[in-house]
Structure 1
Amino acid sequence: MLRGFPPVMSKDTHTLILGSFPGEASLAATQYYAHPRNQFWRLLGTVLDEPLVELAYEDRLLRLLHHRIGVWDVLAACEREGSLDAAIRHATPNDFAAFRQHAPDLSKVCFNGKTAGRFAPVIGEAGYTTLVLPSSSPANAMLSFDQKLRLWRDILT
């Protein structure tokens, strides 16, 4: 059974970006979105006008927190061979009910891809604004970077 990472958040986090579950490169590096071809840091850096790709991992996280943005995954644990979401088996979701206690200002939850986006209705029912974004994964090659970016800009609205 693979285990995910704790959330990156602070008391004043107002927007949370949820992925599905860390891929092999991320698990090996113990870092969110560590695969060099994953566009997460480039997309978010462009949206925030921050040089996230150029920063050390810990500095990236600090810049996100400065913008009151958190990162986590919908799944706490699962079985999976490889990094594809389609290979996820025996998944255990993270405890979102407790999140409101830790981030009382949270109002918007964005989902990085359709797999994570399956949780949007449940999160929306809890009173959060939700946004399902195109996946930043290198496996999602149907959209160009610019096409994804147009949709990712909605994080700030």
Structure 2
Amino acid sequence: MTRLHGLPPIENPEACALVLGSMPGGASLRAARYYAHPQNLFWTFMGDLVGASPVLPYDVRVQHLRDAGIALWDVIGACEREGSLDSAIRGAVANDFATFFATHTKLRAVLFNGATAETTFRRQLPDTIVPADVALVRLPSTSPANRSIPTETKRLAWRDALAAAGVRVRPLPPV
């Protein structure tokens, strides 16, 4: 099985929301960019909510996230996996969240991009690692493998969670 290493965080010490995926998929690792799979809805949602549209160059999208107060990382720093499915992850090692939380003191919420990110975080890390005033919120995965929830339902959940964390989100365009 192939040993994989994740991407560095997109961070801003002033961030109020930390979005956590599980581990980047193959397309993202090859591109060295978060959510690089063209069918993943993450950048579409971020375009709607904070102006980080998928049509913009990656570095501009990243800056929009930072400016909006959103940090982005993954729970898993290294693992073994064949393919891109979360269900194929073995030997997961978590990223260094103790240091991250110590240096990002304005966080109000950790937003998990799907169930695997949340369950891995809770399994790998002690409860005491998260500051008491930081909410942990599981959101519907933006992955193309998650087709069980309608896109608009997902987009509204992301909007509401980001707004609750203190991110100034744009009014949503009509569907």
Shorter-chain TM-score: what band?
over 0.9
Unaligned ranges ≥5, structure 2:
165-175
Quote how far apart the aligned CAs of 1:51 are. 4.9
| Structure showing greater Rg | 2
What SS class does the counterpart of residue 46 from structure 1 fall into? helix
Task: Tell me how many residue pairs correspond in the alignment.
Answer: 156
Instruction: Provide the rounded CA distance (Å) in 2 between the counterparts of 1:55 and 1:9.
Output: 19
What SS class does the counterpart of residue 37 from structure 1 fall into? coil
> Stretches of 4+ moved more than 4 A in 1?
none
1:115 aligned residue: 116
Instruction: Provide the rounded CA distance (Å) in 1 between the counterparts of 2:131 and 2:70.
Output: 19
Amino acid at match of 1:111: F
Amino acid at match of 2:163: L
- Contact 1:79–1:89 under 8 Å retained in 2: yes
Amino acid at match of 2:79: C
Quote how far apart the aligned CAs of 1:126 are. 3.3
Calculate the TM-score normalised by the size of structure 1: 0.93
Quote how far apart the aligned CAs of 1:63 are. 0.3
Amino acid at match of 1:140: N
Shift in CA distance, 76/66, structure 1 to aligned 2, threshold 3 Å: same
Unaligned ranges ≥5, structure 1:
none
What SS class does the counterpart of residue 53 from structure 1 fall into? coil
* Pair 1:102-2:103 in alignment: yes
Instruction: Provide the rounded CA distance (Å) in 2 between the counterparts of 1:5 and 1:55.
Output: 20
What SS class does the counterpart of residue 54 from structure 1 fall into? coil
**RMSD of the alignment, in Å?**
1.6
Shift in CA distance, 123/84, structure 1 to aligned 2, threshold 3 Å: farther
Please give the per-residue CA displacement for 1:2-55, whole angstroms capped at 9, x wherever unaligned. 00011111111111000000000000000000000000001122122x152111
- Contact 1:124–1:130 under 8 Å retained in 2: no
Task: Give identity over the alignment, percent.
Answer: 44
Amino acid at match of 1:5: L
Calculate the TM-score normalised by the size of structure 2: 0.84
Quote how far apart the aligned CAs of 1:125 are. 5.1
Shift in CA distance, 56/2, structure 1 to aligned 2, threshold 3 Å: same
2:6 aligned residue: 4
Quote how far apart the aligned CAs of 1:102 are. 2.2
The answer to which of 103-112 and 60-69 deviates more is: 103-112
- Contact 1:13–1:65 under 8 Å retained in 2: yes
